[in-house]
Amino acid sequence: MTEWLGTRNDDRGPELRISGKKGTDGMDKKQIIEDLTAVFRNCEGNVISGEIALEGCEGLVMFEEPVFGVSSADDSIYRDFLKKDVIGPDFRLPDKWLPGARSVISFFLPFTEMVRRSNRGTPGETSPEWLHARIEGQAFLNAYTEGLREYFENRGSGACVPATDSRFAVRASVLPPWNHKVLHIASNWSERHVAYAAGLGTFCLTRGLISSKGVAGRYGSIIVTEEIEPDTRPYEGVYDYCIMCGACVKRCPAGAISLKHGKNQLKCKMWMDKTEKKYAPRYGCGKCQVGVPCEDRIPERI
Question: Minimum Å distance from CB 298 to ligand SF4?
Answer: 9
The reply on whether position 252 binds ligand SF4 by CB under 6 A is yes
Is residue 69 close enough to count as binding ligand B12 by CB under 6 A? no
Q: Closest approach of Cβ 221 to ligand B12, in Å?
A: 9
Residue whose CB is less far from ligand SF4, 222 or 254? 254
How far apart are the C-alpha atoms of 263 and 65, rounded to whole Å? 29
| One residue of 40, 68, 189, 241 binding ligand B12 per CB under 6 A | 189
Using the rule CB under 6 A, give the single segment among 54-62, 79-87, 94-102, 280-288 that binds ligand SF4.
280-288
Out of ligand SF4, ligand B12, none, what residue 87 binds, judged by CB under 5 to 8 A for its kind, is ligand B12
247 is a site residue for ligand SF4 (CB under 6 A): yes
87 belongs to the binding site for ligand B12 (CB under 6 A): yes
- Which of 203, 191, 261, 189 has its CA nearest to residue 236? 203
Question: Is residue 203 involved in binding ligand B12 (CB under 6 A)?
Answer: yes
Report which of 94, 90, 96 is spatially closest to residue 105, judged by C-alpha positions. Answer: 94
C-beta of 94 vs 299, nearer to ligand SF4: 299
> What is the smallest separation between the CB atom of 154 and ligand B12, expressed in angstroms?
25
- Is the CB of residue 22 less than 8 Å from the CB of residue 156? yes
Per-residue x/- mask for ligand B12, residues 122 to 141, rule CB under 6 A? ------------x-------
**Contacted entry of ligand B12, ligand SF4, none for residue 243, CB cut-off 5 to 8 Å set by kind:** ligand SF4
Cis peptide bond prior to 299, omega within 30° of 0? no
User: Does residue 215 contact residue 200 with C-beta atoms inside 8 Å?
Assistant: no
# residues near ligand B12 by CB under 6 A: 36
Cα separations in angstroms, 34 against 140, 233, 241: 19, 21, 27
**71 scored as a contact of ligand B12 (CB under 6 A):** no
Q: Is 245 in the site for ligand SF4 (CB under 6 A)?
A: yes
Q: Does 216 bind ligand SF4 (CB under 6 A)?
A: no
Q: Is 110 in the site for ligand B12 (CB under 6 A)?
A: no
**C-alpha–C-alpha distance, residues 278 and 301, integer Å:** 38
Nearest approach, Cβ of residue 2 and ligand B12 (Å):
31
* Residues at the site binding ligand SF4, with contacts judged by CB under 6 A: 204-206, 242-248, 251-252, 254, 256-257, 263, 268, 271, 285-288, 292-294, 299
